[in-house]
Amino acid sequence: MAVQGIDRRQTGGFTLIEILIVIVIMGLLISLVAPTLFSKVSSSQRKTTMAQMQMISTALDTYRLDIGTYPENLQELRRSDRPGWDGPYMPRDIPADPWGNPYVYSLASGGETPYGLSSYGVGGLPGGEDDEADIVFQ
């Protein structure tokens, strides 16, 4: 018994096997490209961190030239009531590092450098190794 009105011609489309093959090929390509892409992003974030710390360091040195000492904290680069203050020394608010954490600034008590400036990196905590290591400005 034949059903009337149904055209049994082959219609265009993909079979399940063809779709699965395409998905497997895309997965293989992504697994080859993703590690390279993620390492570039990490490298870019570290370079951005160093550039921002260089900008902050320049502002700190300019502050010292005007006031005679380094600030107690980074916010003094934007506002201070100290005599001789000729700021703001940063055009905008102090930026956060590329991971959204504040930069760590401390006045040194002797030693070669007058202050410490660093970022805790991707981990956001002091210490760490490899990609999670602290980034220290020197």
Total of domains in the chain: 1
> Within a domain: residue 109?
yes
**What pLDDT shows up at residue 5?**
61
> Within a domain: residue 12?
no
Q: Which domain holds residue 53?
A: 40-137
Specify the CATH number for the domain of residue 88.
Answer: 3.30.700.10
**What pLDDT shows up at residue 132?**
74
Alpha carbon 123 to chain centroid, angstroms: 11
| pLDDT over 90, % of the chain | 35
Which two structure tokens, joined as six digits, stand for 59? Answer: 């502002």
Tell me: the pLDDT tens digits for 8-59? Answer: 566 678 889 989 999 999 988 888 887 777 767 778 888 999 999 999 999 9
> Within a domain: residue 23?
no
**CA gap 68, 62 in Å, rounded:** 10
> Within a domain: residue 125?
yes
